[in-house]
Structure 1
């Protein structure tokens, strides 16, 4: 990378950069980069055969495929300058508040879907004490194309007084835009906006409680063919972090929900409970099954990392547990948040022992009949009968 741009990155950044880089999706991206670096370091070395692992992360595979299309030099410059943070900092701390003009997806194709599920969630959880005004925000790589009004103010906020006459903020902005033009897709490069997170009220009185989703998340779901229920799941999951703010169980820094395995699985459970509930999302069987698959796609296999947020199986099973809780309480009052958390805590005690046999919820009636059928099959097997399904 250019010497001047590298010197800029060595100086102090605002804490918001580090906060955003601790969110779930940013952690996944960092893991993917580390895996690429580790692979590069061992390319020319003969390695002993490795035992296969049962854990496989769709999001990690996708990230690696995106990263593979970028040169090592450009990728280093990309992350040294925190380009994957800039669109989110712009929207949260620089952009004027124009909530009615927010759009979701590169062409706004998910705006109606996100707005609808947001209104449903606000109404569904209204009795729980959740804030009346949780705002929807979107992050777009295209915002970085506006050098004067968007990119420069964002850089000035993050790097503040680090520029001088030899290398101005406009020089920095020009270098960043030149780099972006070399990326696959340019300003629509998915890694610019591959993130989604919840924000509580921050220090600045201008900052509101919000849910922010970047275009990169939708591009990821499209690539996996999961964009039918993927947007609703993303919103419901981030809205669930606001429930955790209310419960006081979410790990936060500067108002941004941070990644932690238990809090992510609890958010999965909350989201599936809402989406499956007849008073909430009221999703039908195929839709709920897709929600389970979306949750699975976001799990990671880096269990030893402090940023681990649950394996694919654990993420899926958390949504299965939440959806079945809604199924079991069909027609009844919604479960109190604290009661929900207590039940989840009991379930979570065995989360590390889960296998891939975690069942999908097919429908209210089918789920109950499937459980009955499973018992019947077990009885037949114990009795010495072979069963073909």
Structure 2
């Protein structure tokens, strides 16, 4: 089956988690004085009523055409209408990002009891990072108003920002990983048999949340873009984000906008393969083909002792998704979404490690190869019923191990296999990679 791009985008990422899943004119000039509480999670009738009043006050001061004003006033007419409009807006924005809707749990086709699966070092690291964040600040970032949160703004900015050359983009603390990311990206473009000239490498970070004129201008661009999808969502995001910034809510995050929990993920997207409404939305926002590397992810690998190898492994995984886009490898006969997604992600693990171990790729030594395998083990998950399931830790380890073995077993070490040949071999090996392994 061929899934729509909104679905494929969710699965062209390194892990089956988002920041909200962990439990992760200038804007200032145009923000009204009617600020919203930084603790913006709407949990009571009083919260919803107060937020609705702020929304209505904001709308009353806007210069709108009659049809738009009628629509927005209807959304603010009652608490029920306001809440309903919020649910629609969240679903609409998430559908253009990392989900194809809200609450998409499915009946598991896989039996969790058949697989060995449990928390990894990544899970422990995330738990520790969240524990250091002020709960009110964390609620503001992950919940916002009616679920329209700063998290969504950061993700949309990562899609919309204009790319720079990799060497002109800062990766890692104080740019410590920039040269390596740029070099590896260039090596990937030369390694695989696709045209990678149109693929950009961008930073996934939260710098647009800073209280600076430059960041405010960037936020204004995103608000304007989102308004083309949902005017209601754009207004609530503006009220939520700007009030939090002005009230100093970011002080609750150690390191401010550089806190790693803002960007513990990475993704790849190729909008040229989108169709219908997905393509129209991405074109309207000016989204171009890219790989986004999370600054928080780079920090995490350093903290877990996987450092340079982890960074390269993730970048190779994301570039493998670009290969899948070009080779149409998202198409599968597997009907269960969780199982289909796991296939795609395990393939990217295998392709990525084939590159990192190959003599024409990163040529990792034995110790570094083990770190590569540990990287993919750590981003495994146990979400057997989640359409975004990426494979268990053991499965991801085995997929990466398969890619390493493929590279090492080639009789001609000077030859790089065509991507479709790697895929054909992987499809034959997939049943063994995903075989039940519980004792």
TM-score, normalized by the shorter chain, greater than 0.5 = yes
Tell me the equivalent position of 2:34.
Answer: none
Deviation at 1:210, TM superposition (A): 1.0
Go from structure 1 to structure 2 and tell me whether the alpha carbon gap of 1:169 and 1:341 turns closer, same or farther (over 3 Å shift): closer
Tell me the equivalent position of 2:244.
Answer: 176
8 Å CA contact 1:141–1:193 kept in 2: the answer is: yes
C-alpha distance in structure 1 between counterparts of 2:236 and 2:186, whole Å: 44
Tell me the equivalent position of 1:67.
Answer: 130
Deviation at 1:6, TM superposition (A): 5.9
1:234 corresponds to 2:314: yes
Tell me the equivalent position of 1:158.
Answer: 226
Deviation at 1:117, TM superposition (A): 0.6
1:249 corresponds to 2:329: yes
1:225 to 305, 310, 313: 305
Tell me the equivalent position of 2:422.
Answer: 340
2:170 to 93, 103, 106: 103
Tell me the equivalent position of 1:21.
Answer: 98
Compare relative contact order (CA 8 Å, sep 6+) and give the higher one, 1 or 2: 2
1:214 to 277, 294, 311: 294
SS at 1:107's partner residue? helix
8 Å CA contact 1:295–1:319 kept in 2: the answer is: yes
Tell me the equivalent position of 1:387.
Answer: none
In the superposition, the TM-score normalised over structure 2's length comes to: 0.65
Per mean C-alpha deviation after superposition, the further-off stretch among 239-248 and 347-356 is 347-356
1:91 corresponds to 2:173: no
In the TM superposition, what are the counterparts of 1:33-72 in structure 2 within 5 Å?
Answer: 55-72=118-135
Per mean C-alpha deviation after superposition, the further-off stretch among 224-233 and 5-14 is 5-14
1:350 corresponds to 2:432: yes
Extract unaligned runs of 5+ from structure 1. Answer: 32-52, 252-257, 358-389
The RMSD of aligned alpha carbons is 3.4
Go from structure 1 to structure 2 and tell me whether the alpha carbon gap of 1:354 and 1:321 turns closer, same or farther (over 3 Å shift): farther
Per mean C-alpha deviation after superposition, the further-off stretch among 83-92 and 218-227 is 83-92
Aligned length: 322
Tell me the equivalent position of 2:196.
Answer: 131
Deviation at 1:171, TM superposition (A): 4.4
* Deviation sequence 1:190-213 (CA, Å, 0-9, x none): 221122011103542843211111
C-alpha distance in structure 2 between counterparts of 1:283 and 1:16, whole Å: 40
Tell me the equivalent position of 2:367.
Answer: 286
In the TM superposition, what are the counterparts of 1:187-202 in structure 2 within 5 Å?
Answer: 187-202=257-272
SS at 2:307's partner residue? coil
SS at 2:181's partner residue? helix
Go from structure 1 to structure 2 and tell me whether the alpha carbon gap of 1:88 and 1:327 turns closer, same or farther (over 3 Å shift): same
Deviation at 1:246, TM superposition (A): 1.5
Go from structure 1 to structure 2 and tell me whether the alpha carbon gap of 1:307 and 1:230 turns closer, same or farther (over 3 Å shift): same
Go from structure 1 to structure 2 and tell me whether the alpha carbon gap of 1:119 and 1:97 turns closer, same or farther (over 3 Å shift): closer
In the superposition, the TM-score normalised over structure 1's length comes to: 0.73
1:261 corresponds to 2:349: no
* Deviation sequence 1:220-259 (CA, Å, 0-9, x none): 21221111201111110000001111221237xxxxxx99
Deviation at 1:168, TM superposition (A): 8.2
8 Å CA contact 2:117–2:392 kept in 1: the answer is: no
8 Å CA contact 1:60–1:300 kept in 2: the answer is: no
In the TM superposition, what are the counterparts of 1:305-324 in structure 2 within 5 Å?
Answer: 305-324=386-405
Extract unaligned runs of 5+ from structure 2. Answer: 1-38, 41-46, 56-85, 106-115, 273-278, 332-337
8 Å CA contact 2:203–2:292 kept in 1: the answer is: yes
Per mean C-alpha deviation after superposition, the further-off stretch among 105-114 and 63-72 is 63-72
Go from structure 1 to structure 2 and tell me whether the alpha carbon gap of 1:315 and 1:224 turns closer, same or farther (over 3 Å shift): same
8 Å CA contact 1:106–1:140 kept in 2: the answer is: no
C-alpha distance in structure 1 between counterparts of 2:407 and 2:205, whole Å: 35
Per mean C-alpha deviation after superposition, the further-off stretch among 316-325 and 221-230 is 221-230
